[in-house]
Each structure stands twice: as structure tokens, then as C-alpha cells.
Amino acid sequence: MTSDNLKIVESNIQAACMRSGRKRDEVTLIAVSKTQPLDLINEVYSNGIRNFGENKVIELVNKADILPKDIKWHLIGHLQRNKVKNIIKRVELIHSVDSYRLAEQINTESEKADCNTDILIQVNVSGENTKFGISPDETEALARKIAELKRIHIKGLMTIAPFTLEPEENRIYFRKLKQLSVDIQGKNIDNIDMRELSMGMTGDYEIAIEEGATFVRVGTGIFGERSYE
Ligand SMILES: *Cc1c(COP(=O)(O)O)cnc(C)c1O
């Protein structure tokens, strides 16, 4: 079941890359495993997937302790400052940095652990007030400030588009995020690299790829519906 879903997602990704003249290896599929049991995660792993996403620190850490060590874990959900120390050195990339205070905490804990941490800045492109993320207007200023923190490397931007049954409706938001990243990259600011764009979920990842996503975060499309117990 899960393996079949994964095959479908993979062929959709390939088709979206073809349509938009992109190479398949420009896009990394993150299997969003929040709430999912270990046996399903292992099944996805055994199909060759190595990037997994979680939105809660405790769940990420618990799973990382048990599952194979070559998994790259992505924190994609809101991060509280008091939880930062738990994930430093254990995550490949933090997708959800949207304030300087949070970045400072990541910097401090990275220094203590003697490592560097890669992050994306989460941008609220749609203006939905239920979502985390900084506004597009404030993104460059925040990036410039964070770029001065020595233990943090900014790798790009992330957004969560609104839930919709009509994925085409989200194309404008993906396009906006891409444009914002191009604008910021064009300023050649030290310690700011805008090559990564984390956008697109089960409902809209193909559109996101057409608009330049380098990471797509797919949960339900691979694992089926989540059960929150
Ligand atoms: C849960 C989650 C996803 C995956 O959502 P699906 O619709 O199940 O693919 C992607 N990104 C974030 C930030 C999430 O919290």
C-alpha cells in the first residue's frame, strides 16, 4: 500500500520535472512521517527514501533514536526556543525559522555543540493568519540579521500554502516564494544562499515542482491518512 503510493508520488515528481524542464535530482522528496508508525517508515526507507520530515521535536528525536542512522531528518513544524537544544546535531535542515530570537537560540546551541546548523526561513506568502512564517516584505531584513550568526547557514526559503482542493490556486504562492528567493539571491549577501525552496505538500507538490521547489514535503500521499490518537 505505502510502497504503491510511493511509486505513484515518484512518477508524479518525474512527470512534473519533465513538464518544467527540470532534472529529477534537483528535487528531494521528504516523506513526512509525523504520527506514522515505525513499520510504515521502515517500509518507505526500504524503498530507498532517506529524507524524512517531522513537525514535533520529541517525535523526531524518538524516531531518530530508533531508526537507521543514515536517515536525514527535517524539522518542518513550528520550533519552540526551549526545544532547540534537543535537535541540534540531529537534523539535516530546520525548515521553520521565522524569527531572529529563534535563530539566536539555534546559534547559541550550535555553538555549545560545536556544529553549524542549516536552516530555511519560513515565509507566509499567502497572508493566511493561521500560519507561522514571516511576511515576504520582512524576509530580506530577517535573513540579513540571521546571516550574521556564525553557526547558522541560511539555505533558502520554505512556505506552507493554504489548504485547497484546487492545487492550481496555490501556484501564485509558489511563484511568489521563488521570486522572493531570486530577489534575495541577487543581492549576494554573505552567508545567505537561496538555492533551496521547500514548498508543496500532498495536494500541490506537482505545481510546486513546476514553480521551482527543491524540497517537496509529502505525508498523506505516501502514508495515507494520519490518525491522531
Ligand atoms: C504535515 C505536513 C506536511 C505533509 O502534509 P500532507 O498534506 O500530508 O502531505 C507538509 N509540510 C508540513 C509543514 C506539515 O506539517
- pLDDT digit string (tens) for the chain, length 229 residues: 899 999 999 999 999 999 999 999 999 999 999 999 999 999 999 999 999 999 999 999 999 999 999 999 999 999 999 999 999 999 999 999 999 999 999 999 999 999 999 999 999 999 887 669 999 999 999 999 999 999 999 999 999 999 999 999 999 999 999 999 999 999 999 999 999 999 999 999 999 999 999 999 999 999 998 887 6
Cα 13 to middle of ligand 1, angstroms: 16
**What is the C-alpha separation between 43 and 180, in angstroms, rounded?**
37
Cα 77 to middle of ligand 1, angstroms: 9
Q: Does residue 195 sit in helix, strand or coil?
A: strand
Beta partners for 10?
Answer: none
Task: Verify whether ligand 1 is closer than 6 Å to residue 200 (CB atom).
Answer: no
Q: What atom in ligand 1 is closest to the CA of residue 218?
A: 9
Q: What atom in ligand 1 is closest to the CA of residue 223?
A: 8
The b/e string for 36-45 (b: 16+ C-beta within 10 A; e otherwise) is beeebbebbb
Give the residue, out of 55, 122, 165, with the most ligand 1 atoms within 8 A of its beta carbon, to mutate for a pocket test.
55
Cα 136 to middle of ligand 1, angstroms: 21
Q: Between the CA of residue 48 and those of 27, 30, 192, what are the distances in Å?
A: 15, 12, 31
Q: Which residue is closest in CA terms to ligand 1's atom 12?
A: 76
Give the residue, out of 201, 204, 223, with the most ligand 1 atoms within 8 A of its beta carbon, to mutate for a pocket test.
201
Q: Is the pTM of this model over 0.85?
A: yes
Q: Are 72 and 99 in contact (CB under 8 A)?
A: no
